[in-house]
Amino acid sequence: NINPNTNTNPNTNDDDDIINDVILGLSLIEDEDLIPPRIIDELREKGLLIVNVPRDGNCMFHAIANHLPSIDYFRLRKSVVWYLKQRENIFIEYLNKTYKELFQDMDDSFGKNWDNFIKYIGGDGNWEKMPAEYILKIISEMYNLEINIYSTINNNKQQITGFISDIFNLRPIYLIHLAEMHWCSTSDFQNNTTSQNNTTFQNNTTPSYIS
């Protein structure tokens, strides 16, 4: 008998096989079992619980949407696409670059092609080529967030803010990156993470976008 999870295509890239094996392994383990106790303890000291999200290729967007009222992962993806289309050629003076140029500096998957990048970001379930730090900076900027990420690989915490941010009014959120392959979110004990003080853009409305 052939295991349905076994890849019989000799032309399949070995890297893809490794990724699929890791995803399969993760799917058999509870998320919290993969998080070092030190991280769990630190989150609990902040009054935070771990929130599992689907392993469907949209986990980063699920994890962030958990902190945003009335926004699901799909709308968040589309809102990012809308925002990037509006900001493509806007010049960030202190960086001496446009948003498009910043993407091209960080890109190693799209041959510096902005249009292919935008199309990929909008695709439901796309994640393998996701330039996560760039997208997190964009989301931070859009929703005025200070995104704190705990890595289970090195036990370190990384703080991400937007290319342009109102640093005095950022709302901190906390995410966990599991083995650089999956994301978890957090919620406070009172399940009040998405408070009425959340903001989106300056007019406090969810952005429209071009699908």
Q: Could you tell me the pLDDT band of residue 11, with boundaries at 50, 70 and 90? A: low
172 within 8 A of 148, measured Cβ to Cβ: yes
Largest CA distance in the chain: 62
Helix (H) or strand (E) holding 98: strand 97-98
Q: How far is CA 181 from the centre of its chain?
A: 11
Q: How far is CA 151 from the centre of its chain?
A: 13
Residue 161 confidence (pLDDT) above 70: yes
Neighbouring C-alpha atoms within 13 Å toward the C-beta of 145 = 25
Q: Which CATH class is domain 30-188?
A: alpha beta
pLDDT at residue 20, rounded to an integer: 67
Domain boundaries defined on the chain = 30-188
Instruction: Identify the residue with better confidence: 40 or 31.
Output: 40
187 burial type by CB count under 10 A (0-12 exposed, 13-18 middle, 19+ buried): middle
Residue 196 confidence (pLDDT) above 80: no
Distance CA 36, CA 33 (A): 8
pLDDT at residue 193, rounded to an integer: 43
185 within 8 A of 48, measured Cβ to Cβ: no
pLDDT of 91-140, one tens digit each?
999 999 999 999 999 999 999 999 999 999 999 999 999 999 999 999 99
pLDDT at residue 189, rounded to an integer: 80
Average pLDDT score over residue span 165-183:
94
Q: Which region among 47-56, 169-178, 201-210 has the lowest average model confidence (pLDDT)?
A: 201-210
Q: Could you tell me the pLDDT band of residue 26, with boundaries at 50, 70 and 90? A: low
